C-alpha cells in the first residue's frame, strides 16, 4: 500500500487537525484545574466567568499595580495554572469598586462594567452567627458600610437582609462585620456566584462556640 497522499486526504487531515485545535475545549478540560475562587476569595470586578479566566488573563499584573487599596493580589505557583492571576481576599481588604483595574486590563479578562452592575459574588448573611439575627442586638454595621445602602442590604425588623439583585459582592460588609473568628467567622460572607459547593456552617458547632 503506497503512502501517497491524495489531495482529498491531505485536506481531510489538515482540517481534522485544525478542528482539533480550534474546537471549543470541553467542560471537562476546564475542570482539570481547581478554581482559586472560594468564599470571600474573589476575582476583581468585571472578570470573565471563572472557567475562562485562567486562559484569558496574561498575568501582566497591571490590575495589581493600579489598585489604590492594594486589595488585588497575584496568586503564586501553588495555585497551579492560576499562578499570577489576580485575586481579592475581601476579609483582608475588600474591593471599594473604584473600577480602575477594569480600565487597564489589556486582554479583556476584566471587562469594563458600570459600578452597580459588578457581580464579583453575592453576600450571604449567616443568621446563626449574625448578632442581629441571633442575639437581637442592634448591630447594623454591614448595612451602614454597604455602598448600595437600602438596595443591596436592607434592614428588615432591624435585621440585615441581602438583595441579590443589587449586591455587587464587593465585600465591604464582610470586612466590616464585627463577629469574631472564634464564633465561626464573619456573619456575612461573599460567595462566588458560580460556587459549586456551598454549605451552611454546622449548627451545633456554631451555637456551642458562641457561648
Interacting residues toward another protein by CB under 8 A: 21-22, 24-25, 29-30, 32-33, 52, 54-62, 64-66, 68, 70, 73-74, 76-78, 81-84, 104, 106-108
Q: C-beta of 36: minimal distance to another protein in Å?
A: 12
Q: C-beta of 175: minimal distance to another protein in Å?
A: 19
Q: C-beta of 168: minimal distance to another protein in Å?
A: 23
CB nearer to another protein: pick between 103 and 164: 103
Q: C-beta of 181: minimal distance to another protein in Å?
A: 22
Q: C-beta of 93: minimal distance to another protein in Å?
A: 12
CB nearer to another protein: pick between 86 and 121: 86
CB nearer to another protein: pick between 92 and 144: 92
CB nearer to another protein: pick between 12 and 69: 69
Provide CB contacts within 8 A for 42, sequence distance 6+. 87, 88, 90, 95, 120, 121, 169, 171, 190, 192
Q: How far are the Cα atoms of 62, 63, 123, 147, 166 from residue 54, in angstroms, in the given order? A: 16, 15, 24, 29, 27
CB nearer to another protein: pick between 25 and 137: 25
Amino acid at each position: 500500500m503506497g503512502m501517497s497522499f491524495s489531495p482529498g486526504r491531505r485536506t481531510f487531515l489538515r482540517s481534522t487537525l485544525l478542528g482539533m485545535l480550534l474546537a471549543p475545549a470541553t467542560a471537562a478540560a476546564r475542570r482539570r484545574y481547581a478554581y482559586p475562587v472560594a468564599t470571600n476569595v474573589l476575582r476583581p470586578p468585571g472578570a470573565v466567568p471563572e472557567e475562562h479566566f485562567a486562559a484569558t488573563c496574561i498575568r501582566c499584573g497591571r490590575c495589581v499595580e493600579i489598585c489604590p487599596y492594594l486589595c488585588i493580589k497575584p496568586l503564586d505557583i501553588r495555585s497551579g495554572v492560576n499562578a499570577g492571576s489576580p485575586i481579592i481576599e475581601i476579609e483582608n481588604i475588600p474591593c471599594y469598586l473604584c473600577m480602575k483595574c477594569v480600565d487597564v486590563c489589556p486582554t479583556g479578562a476584566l471587562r469594563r462594567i458600570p459600578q452597580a452592575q459588578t457581580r464579583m459574588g453575592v453576600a450571604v448573611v449567616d443568621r446563626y452567627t449574625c448578632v442581629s439575627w441571633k442575639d437581637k442586638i442592634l448591630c447594623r454595621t454591614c448595612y451602614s458600610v454597604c455602598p448600595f445602602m437600602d438596595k443591596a442590604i436592607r434592614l428588615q425588623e432591624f435585621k440585615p437582609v441581602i438583595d441579590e439583585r443589587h449586591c455587587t459582592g464587593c465585600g465591604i460588609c464582610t470586612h466590616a462585620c464585627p463577629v469574631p473568628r472564634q464564633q465561626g467567622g464573619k456573619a456575612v460572607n461573599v460567595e462566588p456566584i458560580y460556587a459549586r459547593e456551598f454549605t451552611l456552617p454546622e449548627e451545633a458547632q456554631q451555637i456551642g462556640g458562641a457561648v
